[in-house]
Chains A and B, each alone.
Chain A
Amino acid sequence: MDGSLFMILAALLLVVVMLTAALAALLSESHLVAVVSLSILSLGLTLLFVLLRAPDVAMTEGVVGVGLSSLIFALALKRLRLYRSSTPAESCDE
Chain B
Amino acid sequence: MSRSSRSMEWTPLLFSGGLAFFLFALFAVIPFGDTAMKVGTMIHQQGGELGAANLVTAVVLGYRGLDTLGELAILFAAATSAGLVLSNTRQRTRSIKNKGLGELFESAISLLMPLLLLVGVYIVLHGHLTPGGGFQGGVVIAVALFLPTLARGEMVINHHLIQWIEGGAGALFILIGVAALIQGAAFLQPLMAAGEVGRFLSAGTLPVLYLLVGLKVGAELAALLGHLVEDDEPGVQQ
Contact = CB atoms under 8 A, between A and B. Distances in A.
Do A and B assemble together?
A: yes
A54 to B, nearest CB: 9
Interface residues of A, number: 30
Interface string A51-68: 111011011100110011
Nearest to B131: A55
Interface residues of B, number: 33
Interface string B104-146: 0000000000000000000100000001110110011011001
A75 B96 CA distance: 14
Contact of A19 (B19, B27, B231): B19
B86 to A, nearest CB: 8
A75 B228 contact: yes
Interface in B1-17: 8, 11, 15
Contacts of A76: 228
A58 B33 CA distance: 14
Contact of A59 (B18, B136, B229): B136
B225 interface: yes
A8 B32 contact: yes
A56, A58, A64 — most chain B CB neighbours (10 Å): A56
B188 interface: no
A34 to B, nearest CB: 13
Interface string B19-55: 1001100110001111000000000000000000010
B33 A19 contact: no
Nearest to A11: B26
A78 B232 CA distance: 8
Contact of A15 (B22, B27, B143, B231): B22
Interface string A31-67: 0000000000000000000011101101110011001
Contacts of B225: 71-72, 75
A52 B30 CA distance: 14
Contact of A27 (B8, B123, B132, B136): B8
Given A19-B15, A75-B225, A79-B228, A7 B139 contact: no
Given A60-B135, A75-B228, 19 more contacts: A4-B31, A11-B26, A12-B22, A12-B23, A12-B26, A16-B19, A19-B19, A56-B132, A63-B139, A63-B143, A64-B139, A67-B143, A68-B142, A71-B143, A71-B146, A72-B224, A72-B228, A78-B232, A79-B231
Interface of A: 4, 7-8, 11-12, 15-16, 19, 22-23, 26-27, 51-53, 55-56, 58-60, 63-64, 67-68, 71-72, 75-76, 78-79
26 contacts: A4-B34, A7-B33, A8-B26, A11-B32, A12-B22, A16-B19, A19-B15, A22-B15, A27-B11, A51-B33, A53-B33, A56-B131, A56-B133, A59-B132, A63-B136, A63-B139, A63-B143, A64-B139, A68-B142, A71-B146, A71-B225, A72-B225, A72-B228, A75-B228, A78-B232, A79-B228
